A and B are shown apart, each in its own frame.
Chain A
Amino acid sequence: MKLDEAKLYHKIDAVVVGAGLAGLRAALEIARNGFQVAVISKVYPTRSHSGAAQGGIAAALANVKEDSLDLHMFDTIKGGDYLGDQDVIEFFISEAVKTVYEFENMGVPFSRTEDGRINQRDFGGHSSPRACFSADITGHVLLHTLYEQCVKQHVHFFNEFQVFSLLIENDSCKGVVAWDIRNGGMHTFHSKSVLLATGGYGRAYKITSNAHANTGDALALILECGLPLEDMEFVQFHPTGLYKHGILLSEAARGEGAYILNDKGERFMKNYAATKMELGPRDVVSRAEQTEINEGRGIGGKDYVYLDLRHIGKERIMERLPQVYDLALNYLKVDAIKEPIPIQPTAHYSMGGIPANVRTEVIKDAKGSIIKGLYTAGEASCLSVHGANRLGTNSLQDAATFGRIAGISMSQFVRDNKFENLPANPQDAALKKVSTFMNGTGKERHSVIRALLQNGMTKLAGVFRTEEDMLKLRVLVKELQERFKNVTIDDKGNSYNMDLIEAFEVSNLLSFSETIVEGAIARKESRGAHYRNDYPKRDDENWLRHTLAWQTEKGVVLDHSKEVIIFRDRYAPQERKY
């Protein structure tokens, strides 16, 4: 059946929201299984932020040095500071090698070893060169290859559509409602199953490597449906954000041997992670950088340090790190062959997200009860593979592997289930959101409110956190939520109304940000990316637990009864030194 885009109602087996690595991989699987699938994305698929991942995709191929699944598993658990669920991690690692070979067989152009195999490089927190790479554009080639495969399978794309609401009734998902950005108009997608793969929530921060699109839309929609989010307080800060812009300079730079230097020209990582040095995990390196900056050893006393590539040499920089070179040159006028690059920590990856089980089914409580027909994968989800801190190159692997698993689970569900009736007046909630913005009479601008939120989040819930700061942030978020009620947009038209989409995105940021703040206030310990100056130690006695957070009329409600799954005989928590 050919879908008719002109119509505002679509009945289709499976709907995938988000066209990054997770969404496309799921769609490909569903299409290959012979079911109808529509991908709804607010940007063209090749514009998705998976394409900005640079350094590699993790798999223990052992193509350049000895490696094992067990070692990859250990590194992932330790990297996540023992908050990751080890049953899920074990499954993840067991699928990782297959995922990479499958990508290669689909046509991904990987960099090669001399004997023609997929090349691998070192990466932070991994004890063997495990990052399968294509120069420093790995995410880009994976994303484009998946898009090409979806084209081959005639996957139906609804490009530049923004999902405004989820249709969930009696713990069962029946579809989504989405706005056609290009032409205007609200569409109802009636489906048996829905995948939420909208990516991360880094746009809640001022300094971030995330795309403009990474506003965690599905997370806010989940909260709106009375469902919880998991481990939202865990936000990864990447140590090599380009100064002021926050955009990513790949960890591949350090994988290829780059140094990080303070104002005295010292490789200060020797004081923080003497063994791994610059290749410590991201949380450790970011804290080291921020400490140097806070103690006045930033360059010229300012809020940045240097990433130094010079000793790597022109030839290797241009072969292995061409994108890193171009970014430094174009944005900061720095020639990385001759000069060090100014960097600072930047909000990068969202460990938290929509809770789901290993089959990617969305769960609604600590017991693991599922919402029928609703799935999530990739950065939008929290399974939890990455625990309190993700290792570099594990995210592309996560998105692709669990995208595939979601496709398998959804195909099975579609095969075994009939369409359920839609709720009455399915578009009402979505249309109300649009009309509130279009007909508003208040004087507030969404851009102003967003900037205040992002400043607050970066300043008060960043690399280092304290209760005092976060109580201020709690008040700020509440105040901004109130002010947001008076937002009016300039653009009242239907055609490509970017003002409308941005207003909706800011409402989403304001919504889920309070679960970050409340989760971070409640977690009185330091673990992975969540560091509390007032509770600087990891507390395994009380906090080997996930956070579930609901939004209610009385504010955010937290539940810490979901315990971390640990294989005590194999991977019992130990001190995390690098």
Chain B
Amino acid sequence: MAKVKLNVKVLRYNPDTDKKPYWKTYELETEDDVTILDVLNEIHWNIDGTLAYRRSCRSAICGSCAMKVNGRNVLACETGLHQFNSHKLKIEPLPGFKIIKDLVVDLDEFFAKLERILPYLILKKPTPDKEFLQSPQDFDKIQEAAMCILCGSCTSSCPSLWANEDYLGPAALLKAYRFIFDSRDDGTDERLDIINDRNGIWRCHTIFNCMEACPKDIKITEYLSRLKVKATENSI
């Protein structure tokens, strides 16, 4: 552990005073084993209290602190300085979203799209006295998709979405996968009706950016491909 001097460029924007975003540079000294979130906290707490960003859990499970650091979408809290070769950092908000202030982006549309795919278990059978039985193999089909923390990194990285903002995007489609492939769910037809659409699953062009951006290493593109197969089978 040693002290290092950092040069941190942050994309700043305050809707009340700025016409457009601009870069501000901070010079500071920290330990070399800190995270990007530690760096932002150091700036916010001790240098410039006007800097705004989201953060909460610090342990990569709440999904608040997704942002772009040196060209990659990451969770600031779990990303150590050691992951970069340089002591120069360039921090900006997740691309593809409207900026509210500094690193804080507007997630309203992101959550609205999630709601469109009916993101809850749909049952047309009576509930049992105890649990629905589900085999470990059937649980395995949805376990990884259920790990999604809704941070927005995947959706932010998707070129298809940049080109067409009406596209549902990878996070909402992954949620659709999580329910359609849940052995307990009876809502496949309703959900396929929603995603089997030109702004639904077919706008995924298997570019794999979402998978690379996912901090939880969820194989999103693969799951979306399985959805395409399912949608095709159902329409035949």
Contact = CB atoms under 8 A, between A and B. Distances in A.
A471 interface: no
B107 to A, nearest CB: 7
Interface stretch (B139-147, B158-166, B205-213, B224-232): B139-147
Contact of B59 (A52, A118, A495): A52
B124 interface: no
A495 B61 contact: no
B50 interface: yes
Interface stretch (A137-145, A392-400, A422-430): A137-145
B133 A327 contact: no
B14 interface: yes
Contact of B78 (A135, A151, A331, A448): A331
Contact of A134 (B44, B53, B146): B146
Contacts of B63: 46-47
A148 interface: yes
B136 to A, nearest CB: 5
B201 interface: no
A211 B57 contact: yes
Contact of A43 (B45, B64, B111, B185): B64
A419 interface: no
Contact of B62 (A110, A211, A447): A211
A150 B46 CA distance: 39
A491 interface: yes
Interface in A143-189: 144-145, 148-149, 151-152, 182
A107 B60 contact: no
Interface stretch (B21-29, B114-122, B188-196): B114-122
A421 interface: no
B49 to A, nearest CB: 3
A333 B82 contact: yes
Interface centre among B45, B53, B102, B118 (most CB of A within 10 A): B45
Interface residues of B, number: 65
Interface string A490-501: 110111111100
Counting chain A CB atoms within 10 Å of each CB, the highest count among B111, B115, B182 belongs to B111
B17 A52 contact: no
A109 B138 CA distance: 10
Given A104-B132, A109-B182, A499-B50, A51 B57 contact: yes
Given A447-B45, A498-B52, A137 B107 contact: no
Contacts of B53: 498
A246 to B, nearest CB: 8
A248 B26 CA distance: 31
A149 B60 CA distance: 24
B219 to A, nearest CB: 14
Contacts of B233: none
A493 B143 contact: no
Contact of B121 (A107, A209, A211, A333): A107
B49 A499 contact: yes
B46 A447 contact: yes
A49 interface: yes
Nearest to B142: A109
Contact of A110 (B51, B60, B123, B131): B131
A495 B182 contact: no
B68 interface: no
Interface in B198-220: none
Interface of A: 43-44, 46-49, 51-52, 61, 101, 104-107, 109-118, 134-135, 137, 140-141, 144-145, 148-149, 151-152, 182, 209, 211-213, 244-245, 247-248, 323, 326-327, 330-331, 333, 445, 447-448, 489-491, 493-499
10 contacts: A49-B57, A111-B143, A112-B139, A137-B147, A151-B119, A247-B59, A493-B50, A495-B15, A495-B100, A497-B52
Given A111-B143, A140-B149, 5 more contacts: A101-B129, A111-B139, A116-B136, A323-B61, A331-B35
Q: Which 8 A-B residue pairings sit nearest by Cβ, starting from the closest?
A: A107-B121, A490-B49, A116-B133, A447-B45, A496-B101, A499-B49, A148-B120, A247-B59
